[in-house]
Amino acid sequence: MASRTPPPLIADPERIAFAASLASGSSAVPEAVDTYLTHLAVWNQQTNLVSRRLAPEDVRRLTLRAFLILPLLFPDKGIRVVDAGAGAGMVSLAIAVSRPDVNVLSVELRKRRAQFLEDVTRQLRLPRWRSRQLNVSKLPQPCCEIAIAQAMGAPVEALRLLTPAVVPGGRIVIPTGSNAELNGVTTDGGLLVRLLPAEEIMRGAAGLYIVADKAVSAPRG
């Protein structure tokens, strides 16, 4: 079967400017973000969701940076996104408030973090943002068009765990810090793995995104 043209890393370049304006704080931030930050501060007094050494303005900056993920989502309405190892849910929040057409599922195994996610999704009442306490390996196969891997160890392990959860033609996105973390990542299993420096979305932003697009048809042996 002839190979298909791989999807562009960013399907809609206009989303870059939108994401960068939110991540930099130069654009009006949705009210839900401030509600989230207030809730996070209360929970963080008893549960270490984010480092307590961070000043409130640093936590806010970290939360806004999560909006940089937006251009890597497919523009189609109604897509399903799994935020695996969601932690405090900053990426899930960014997607839920910016793309109300997208179904977001935050998956977190650690009990207290999962409880926070359940509480904050209930408080914010964003109808398409849900959370579950679940081991990523127990996700239905397949269950989403986009999977975002956070705090899941080496990228190669995250890809191994999430590839079955993504539909053919879907995408796995792994925010990462450096090229050193790419050891062992290959295109095996019908994945096209590419890199996008965060600076291409917002000038001065550090880090990389590993983007792995799953083939529409599984490769033949």
Q: Is 7 part of a structural domain of the chain?
A: no
pLDDT beyond 80 at 7 = no
Q: Is 3 part of a structural domain of the chain?
A: no
pLDDT beyond 70 at 121 = yes
Q: Is 53 part of a structural domain of the chain?
A: yes
List the CATH number of the domain containing 188. Answer: 3.40.50.150
Q: Is 30 part of a structural domain of the chain?
A: yes
Q: What is the pLDDT of residue 52?
A: 92
pLDDT beyond 90 at 152 = no
Residue 71 domain boundaries: 14-214
Percent of the chain exceeding pLDDT 70 equals: 89
For the record, the structure tokens of 211 come out as 């983007």
Q: Is 188 part of a structural domain of the chain?
A: yes
How many alpha carbons lie under 13 Å from residue 91 in its C-beta half-sphere? 27
pLDDT, average across residues 105-132:
96
- Whole-model pTM? 0.90
Residues 6+ apart with CB under 8 A from 178: 207, 208
Closest CA to 101 of 130, 121, 128, 68: 128
pLDDT beyond 80 at 208 = yes
Bigger pLDDT: 172 vs 155: 172
Q: What is the pLDDT of residue 2?
A: 42
Q: What is the pLDDT of residues 35-57, one digit of tens each?
A: 999 999 999 999 999 999 999 99
Q: Is 6 part of a structural domain of the chain?
A: no
Count of structural domains within the chain: 1
Q: Is 202 part of a structural domain of the chain?
A: yes
What distance in Å separates the CA atoms of residue 2 and residue 160, rounded to the nearest whole number? 25
pLDDT, average across residues 63-74:
95
Q: What is the pLDDT of residue 4?
A: 52
Q: What is the pLDDT of residue 3?
A: 47
pLDDT beyond 60 at 221 = no
Strands, DSSP E only, in the chain? 80-84, 103-108, 129-133, 144-149, 166-176, 191-197, 208-214
